[in-house]
Amino acid sequence: MGRPKTQADRRLTLVAAAESMIAKRGLAGVTLRDVANEAGMSSSALLYYYPGLKELLDDVQKKAVERFCTQRAAVVAAIADPRLRLKTMLESGLPTDPDDQLCRLLLELGAYSRSDASYAARHITLFGRQAAIYVGILEAGAATGIFKLNAASEVIARSLVVLEDGLGLHLVNVVPAVDHASAMAILTSYAELATGCSLR
């Protein structure tokens, strides 16, 4: 007989169920009952772990931000060549396709941050952590003479994150003029101008 799930396991199950429902219906269409059904439990059982939908979505956002930032940092950590690090970082910031669940989730929750201070704070953290990774890459490349930065590293880094966010939104909303290849071309062109270095 399997061991009973711990409270932490149940919370992870509920977070995964909420992520799935947000991907299917959008944030505005998700209810506690939907999440409970997706997780295979009753609404009253869900309330044992989270007092309401807001608290559950708080946890969803915390975990999504951490996962996205950790993945991006990890994917470039072992790369020595600044050009390849920058190119890999650019690639990791865009949705892989319109159904990229993690990117869709972050965009949905980012919109919610306009009306909730705790969501806004985590959204700011998400932006800052991504920009910090870019700053490290840009400054390492500049220190070795490979990059000739045309602005402060912080300005370029923030510009890249803003470009990623805008292009990512168009990708998940399936704007015909912006597919993955064209989004990468736009990002790469700006990065090359900003660093004075070819990334192709």
- Domain limits of the chain? 1-51, 60-195
pLDDT above 60: residue 4: no
Q: Which pTM was predicted? A: 0.88
Q: How far is CA 150 from CA 11, 54, 128, 136, 187, in A?
A: 47, 43, 21, 16, 16
Please count the CA atoms within 13 angstroms of the CA of 150 that sit on its side-chain side.
9
Under 8 Å between Cβ of 59 and 12? no
Tokens linked to 185: 């071309």
Fold (topology level) of 60-195: Tetracycline Repressor; domain 2 (1.10.357)
Query: What would the CATH number be for the domain defined by 1-51?
Result: 1.10.10.60
Task: Give exposure, 104-116, as e/b (b: 16+ Cβ within 10 Å).
Answer: bbbbbbbebbeeb
For the stretch 15-43, pLDDT in tens is 999 999 988 888 888 999 999 999 999 99
CA–CA gap between residue 37 and residue 154 (Å, rounded)? 45
- Give 159-193 pLDDT, tens digit per residue: 999 999 999 999 998 999 999 999 999 999 999 99
Does the structure show a pLDDT above 90 at 1? no
DSSP 193: H
pLDDT tier at 5, thresholds 50, 70, 90: low
- 106-155 per-position pLDDT tens digit: 888 877 777 888 888 988 999 999 999 999 999 999 999 999 999 999 99
CA-nearest of 105, 119, 114 to 22 is 105
DSSP result, 38-93: HHTS-HHHHHHH-SSHHHHHHHHHHHHHHHHHHHHHHHHHT---HHHHHHHHHHHT
> Are 146 and 197 spatial neighbours (Cβ–Cβ below 8 Å)?
yes
